[in-house]
Amino acid sequence: MIMTNLKDLQLNELEELLTGMGEPKFRAKQIFAWLYKGISDFDEMNNLPLSLRKKLWEEGLSPGTMEPEQVQVSKLDGTRKYLFRLGDGNAVESVFMRYKYGNTVCVSSQAGCRMSCRFCASGIDGLCRNLTAGEIAEQIIAAERDTGERVNHVVVMGTGEPFDNYENLSRFIKIINDKAGKNLGMRNITVSTCGLVPMIGQFAKDFPQVNLAISLHAPNDEIRSGMMPVNGKYPLKELIGACRRYTETTSRRITFEYTLVRGVNDLPEHAMQLAELLKGMLCHVNLIPLNKVKETGFDTTPKEEAEKFQALLEARNIPSTIRRELGDDIDGACGQLRLKGKK
C-alpha cells in the first residue's frame, strides 16, 4: 500500500482530510501538533481516540517518520551528520549544529542535484528526485528526536537546489511556520540558491521575511562559469541585478556564500573584483573554507590567505565573515555522506 505522509499536508488540507473521514475538524489540529513534537507512531497521540488512531493506519496514512541510517558525531564540536534512507531507496542527508544563538539544522531539498557545481559532492551522481515537503520537514524533527533539543534555525542548504523544487519548498516553509505545529519564525529560515534568477523575484514576493543566501563563489563570469554551469544560463549581470531588486523590494540583506578554492577564486584581485561587484548592495559575504571532496580535485585556501581576502573586502566596505568550521572531522560537506552511502 502507498502511504500518504501527513507531514506533506498543510493544516487546512489535514482538516479537509479528517472531515472527509467523518471526524471533527479539531482532530486535525491535534494531529498536526503531534506531528511536530517528534512522535514516530500514531499510538503516541494519546489525546486521540483509539478508534481514530487505528483508522489513520487503515486509511493508508503515515506520520512520515524517518530514522537515520547513519549518524556521524564530531568529537570536536558535537555536530551531527545524518544519512536518511527513503522508502524508494534514495538517500538524503542533513546536519545538526550547535551555535551560541541556538541549534541549526541544515536540510536537503532534493535527492541529488542537477546543478553540477564542480566543487560540490551533491551533484556528482545527478538528480534522483525532489523531496516532498514532509521529507524536508522530517529532517528537522528527526534531529530533535535524536538530540532531545529544540531546533531554532533551519537552513535549506543541503543536497539539492531549493528553487529547482520550489513548490515543495514553499509548502515546507508554510508548514514549519504554522503556529499550530513547529511554529518556526520566517526570519529563522534561510534558503540558499545557486542563482535561478526568475525564482529570486518570486521568492521575494512569496516569502519576504525568509532569509535569502546566494551561492556566488566567484567574482567574474569566467571563473563562475568554470565552477558553476548555471552561470551559462544566468550570468552575473542578471544574477546581481536580480539580487539588487530583491533587496530593494524586501529591504532584507542578502548573504553571498563564497567558497574559497585555492588558486581558483582566492587571490587578492578576486577580492577586489568581488567588492566592486557587490558595491552599494545591502549584503554580507560568508567566506567558506572549502570542505575538501576528493572527487572534485579542488583544494582548501590556507587560513591566513582567507583572512587576507576578508581584510580586502572589509577595507572596501563589504561586510564579511569567515564561516566557523563545524564537523571538520566528519563528512561535513554537502553530499559527502550520501556519496559514501551509495558506494
Catalytically annotated residues = 93, 334
128: its cell numbers: 534522483
Compute how many other C-beta atoms are within 10 angstroms of the C-beta atom of residue 224: 22
34: its cell numbers: 503531534
Contact 227, 266 (CB under 8 A): no
Hey, what amino acid is at 146?
D
* Nearest Cα residue to 190 out of 237, 155, 139: 155
DSSP state of 33: H
3-state secondary structure of 7: helix
Q: H helices within the chain, ranges in order?
A: 11-20, 26-35, 50-58, 133-147, 166-177, 197-206, 221-227, 236-250, 268-277, 303-315, 336-342
Angle at 134 between CA 130 and CA 136, to 5 degrees: 60
Alpha-carbon distance 156 to 210, whole Å? 11
Hey, what amino acid is at 314?
E
Residues contacting residue 233 through CB under 8 Å, at least 6 positions apart: none
* Nearest Cα residue to 208 out of 195, 189, 194, 193: 189
Alpha-carbon distance 157 to 99, whole Å? 17
Alpha carbon of 250 to those of 143, 211, 244, 246, 247: distances in Å? 31, 10, 10, 6, 5
For strand 68-73 and strand 61-62, is the pairing parallel, antiparallel, or unpaired? unpaired
51: its cell numbers: 478508534
For strand 110-112 and strand 211-215, is the pairing parallel, antiparallel, or unpaired? unpaired
Contact 28, 42 (CB under 8 A): no
